[in-house]
Amino acid sequence: MEPRGEIFVLGLVLSIIVLLISVFISIWARRFTRNLGDYYVAGRSIGALNNGLAMVSLALSLTTFIGLTALILKGVYIAIALYASFTAAFIGLMLLAAPYLRRHKSFTTMAFISERYGSKTLRFISVFIMLIVSVLYLGGNLKGVGIIFYYLLGVPEIVGIVVGGLVVTLYVTLGGMYGVTYNQTFQTIVLIFCLMFPVAVVLKALGAAGWFFPPLGYGNLVPLMNEAVPHFFWPMLVHPIVYIAIFLGSFFGIIGLPHFVMRYFTVRDAREARWSTVICVFLVGLVNTTVYATGFAAMYYMRTQGIDIPEAAYDYMVFILLDALSGQGWLAIAVAGSVAAALSTIAGLLLIMGAGLIHDLYSELKPEVDDEKKLKLSYAAMFVVGVLVILFSLNPPKFILEAIMWSFGIAAAGLGVPIVLGIWWKRTNKYGVGAGMVVGALIGLYGWIMVGYLGMDPVTIPFPIFAKYFYGPLGWIKITAVAVPVSFILTVVVSWLTPPPPLELQKQVDVMHGWQDYDQKRYNGKGLPITVIVLSVLIMWFMTTLYDVFPK
Amino acid sequence: MSDESRKSYKLEVWVTAICFIIVAITGGFFSSFVVILNERFFDKVPTPEQLVQHYGESMFVAKEGLTVLGFPLHYFLLIMLSWIGVTIVGAIWCIVMDRLEEKQRA
């Protein structure tokens, strides 16, 4: 894909303004950071509205602007199913984990797993898994910054990756969680404004009657679109296990992704945690449905205008569309919004990686170190992590959303399962969790190395226990339908076959659910583990069926 | 466990389970149901020529039926349920849990 051809000064100026405001907010917010708790969890003082807005910008990374549009163009209906599931997954996160995690009073996901199961080894394993999923997630987002710089300025993607990476590293290092939270709130407002208005302009240019409300404003374009692209809204008939894998990956992946969970440790109490999720899911849905409109408008535009854009350039489609159909001002606004979206997600990920290394790894190895020194080390660690991620991102994935999907799958099996069972089943112990999270994460990681990193055809990967069944469009997603059930089954079965956890660990479950007293019978029945095992086995069996019915 | 406590516990578990099932269906599995049941409800199966024309031999598609606000019904339901639907379910759960929390404190 060729760059735009000339330096887009207005877009550059607005992007720099967003970057400068972000750094300024961090410097301003630094005054609130007095100790380690302030640095990592903002003194647990964030309200529901502020946290909800901050979560929106975490959820709406640059992949929403760029990757989703590309996936809609590539995958049509599955892309919508994927994001529908991702939107609903926030409520899943709230129902299964959010308020309970807040009552646990940990700093991070890794600390929760370690303290809930009474194991330092699990803390180290979960830090390792966290680093893998965070780097995968970051790689996609930093590539997105590179895409913006390349298309608008003609400079190599690497320049955008380095510049964007350094700026966000700077403001995360300076401001800690206070800075990240206020920045994310600011960036949410910026990105909602910078997405809704330009898309409305595009829809108006295409002739949509309801252009002023993009989520549903393109409905009257559908008949025209059906003429231009007759199959566009037909749901693709892939094996249903693909949709189940998407469900497992998004619902348990979001619980396992530590930068989402970490937001709940910052709020005042469980009530604020709950309501912040409702605010978040409403706004995330609003933006996601607007992005669907962008993808459809792009497809409609391509087909009606007879423009053939190569698949490799689909990640640029938002900007191509705005460039062609709206004024330069709207394009510049969308560019600034994209930069804001990228920064917010990268900031959240950098913070959790720094917290994981210093709070969960270094502090465990050197418990005698005082908080003041840890705080200084946190600043240094955050900076080093930022630089390392920039280096990793120099060889980014082909499509940015694919890296994110892999990280969701690995996070679901490696971290999501132990969190959910740790909250809802007292009998879960460190042996079960160790077995489940290691094997589950390895299955997801194995799939990513073979398919995502080495680029092998899923059907021909070595040790083809299930490889035969990874056929069809986005067939590799199905590996999540193996990794998550295996993680559940191993955790439950091994926990059952080994001694129950000590009483003080089981008491944490009642405390997390808000009980003042303790009762051994609560959250300790056989119904949940049996249901989990039955459903897990059914899902794995289902994947091996209907091989001849669906496309290869 | 007192009767009041048992009642609160059951309420928490069952309300959470029901809400999770609803959200899982509307957000997670709904697409799958649409795909599986589409042919049965709308009885419109694409011909081999249509398949080859639009997707090549590697994909199958099922044709849509009713429309709402210009959208195919399945698509409209999917985006509305996975957005407004789950937001409402989430808000109802929050209200129930707020009340439960007040009871626990008392």
| A282, part of any domain | yes
From CA A138, how far away is CA A144, in angstroms rounded? 10
Q: Rounded to whole angstroms, what are the CA distances from A209 to A69, A200, A214, A217?
A: 22, 10, 10, 7
- Mark yes or no for CB contact A234/B63 under 8 Å: yes
Name which residue leads in pLDDT, B105 or A232.
Answer: B105
CA of A228, closest CA in chain B: separation in Å?
A: 12
Name chain A contacts of B5, Cβ cutoff 8 Å: 515, 517, 519
pLDDT at B42: 46
What percent of chain A stands above pLDDT 70?
92
Number of domains composing chain A: 1
- Mark yes or no for CB contact B27/A552 under 8 Å: no
Residue B61 at interface with chain A, using a CB cutoff of 8 Å: yes
Residue B65 at interface with chain A, using a CB cutoff of 8 Å: no
Name chain B contacts of A282, Cβ cutoff 8 Å: 83, 87
- Mark yes or no for CB contact B28/A286 under 8 Å: no
CB A170 within 8 A of CB A265: no
pLDDT at A523: 95
Name chain B contacts of A292, Cβ cutoff 8 Å: 79
CB A357 within 8 A of CB A382: no
For the record, the structure tokens of A50 come out as 């502020």
Nearest CA-CA partner of A238 in A539, A474, A69, A482: A474
Q: What is the mean pLDDT of residues A423-434?
A: 96
From CA A194, how far away is CA A293, in angstroms rounded? 15
From CA B57, how far away is CA B42, in angstroms rounded? 23
| A552, part of any domain | no
pLDDT at B43: 43
- Mark yes or no for CB contact B63/A251 under 8 Å: no
CA of B71, closest CA in chain A: separation in Å?
A: 5
- By C-alpha distance, the chain A residue nearest B31 is A81
Q: Is the pLDDT of residue A232 over 80?
A: no
From CA A263, how far away is CA A53, in angstroms rounded? 11
Q: What is the mean pLDDT of residues B61-80?
A: 70
| A454, part of any domain | yes
pLDDT at A416: 96
Interface test with B, best of A90, A91, A278 (most B CBs within 10 A): A91
Segment A70-125, tens digit of pLDDT: 777 776 667 777 888 888 999 999 999 999 999 997 888 999 999 999 999 999 99
Q: Rounded to whole angstroms, what are the CA distances from A213 to A192, A197, A203, A514?
A: 13, 9, 9, 41
- By C-alpha distance, the chain A residue nearest B7 is A522
| A114, part of any domain | yes
pLDDT at A216: 82
- Mark yes or no for CB contact A236/B60 under 8 Å: yes
| A549, part of any domain | no
Residue A235: which of B19, B58, B62 has the nearest Cβ? B62
At residue A376 the predicted structure's pLDDT band, cuts being 50, 70 and 90, is: confident
Interface test with B, best of A56, A102, A231 (most B CBs within 10 A): A231
- Mark yes or no for CB contact A235/B89 under 8 Å: no
Per DSSP (E only), the strands in A398-548 are: none
User: Burial, A388: exposed, middle or buried (Cβ in 10 Å; 0-12, 13-18, 19+)?
Assistant: middle
pLDDT at B61: 46
| A3, part of any domain | no
CA of B81, closest CA in chain A: separation in Å?
A: 9
Residue A274: which of B71, B82, B97 has the nearest Cβ? B97
| A1, part of any domain | no
User: For the residues of A403-423, what is the DSSP string, one character each?
Assistant: HHHHHHHHHIIIIIHHHHHHH
At residue A234 the predicted structure's pLDDT band, cuts being 50, 70 and 90, is: low
Which of the residue ranges A116-130, A135-149, A274-288, A359-373 would you say has the lowest mean pLDDT?
Answer: A135-149
CA of B86, closest CA in chain A: separation in Å?
A: 6
What ranges do the domains of chain B cover?
6-105
| A550, part of any domain | no
Q: What is the mean pLDDT of residues A403-429?
A: 94
CA of B90, closest CA in chain A: separation in Å?
A: 6
User: Burial, A102: exposed, middle or buried (Cβ in 10 Å; 0-12, 13-18, 19+)?
Assistant: buried
Q: Is the pLDDT of residue B64 over 60?
A: no
Q: What is the domain extent for residue A14?
A: 9-543
Name chain A contacts of B31, Cβ cutoff 8 Å: 77, 80-81, 84-85, 235, 243
- Mark yes or no for CB contact A234/B19 under 8 Å: no
Tally A–B CB contacts below 8 A: 187
User: Burial, B56: exposed, middle or buried (Cβ in 10 Å; 0-12, 13-18, 19+)?
Assistant: exposed
Residue A233: which of B30, B64, B93 has the nearest Cβ? B64
Interface test with A, best of B13, B31, B40, B76 (most A CBs within 10 A): B31
For the record, the structure tokens of A89 come out as 């997954």
CB A293 within 8 A of CB A214: yes
CB A147 within 8 A of CB A158: no
Burial annotation A495-511 (CB, 10 A radius, 16+ → b, else e): beeeeebeeebbebbbe
Which of the residue ranges A256-260, A419-423, A529-533 would you say has the lowest mean pLDDT?
Answer: A256-260
From CA A159, how far away is CA A149, in angstroms rounded? 7
For the record, the structure tokens of A290 come out as 């607007």
Name which residue leads in pLDDT, A161 or A412.
Answer: A412
> What CATH number corresponds to the domain at position A492?
1.20.1730.10
Sign of the C-alpha dihedral computed for residues A87, A70, A226 and B35 taken in this order: negative
From CA A361, how far away is CA A367, in angstroms rounded? 10
- By C-alpha distance, the chain A residue nearest B74 is A235
User: Radius of gyration over alpha carbons of chain B, in Å?
Assistant: 21
Name which residue leads in pLDDT, B48 or A36.
Answer: A36
Residue B27 at interface with chain A, using a CB cutoff of 8 Å: yes
- Mark yes or no for CB contact B28/A234 under 8 Å: no
- Mark yes or no for CB contact B87/A513 under 8 Å: no
From CA A219, how far away is CA A45, in angstroms rounded? 42
pLDDT at A398: 59
Interface test with B, best of A74, A82, A90, A237 (most B CBs within 10 A): A237
Burial annotation A303-340 (CB, 10 A radius, 16+ → b, else e): bbeeeebeeeebbbbbbbbbbebbeeebbbbbbbbbbb
User: For the residues of B6-71, what is the DSSP string, one character each?
Assistant: HHHHHHHHHHHHHHHHHHIIIIIIHHHHHHHHHHHHH-----HHHHHHHHGGG--B-----EETTE
Tell me which residue has tokens 């608008």: A152
For the record, the structure tokens of A388 come out as 């390392």
Q: Rounded to whole angstroms, what are the CA distances from A259 to A58, A231, A281, A423?
A: 8, 38, 16, 19
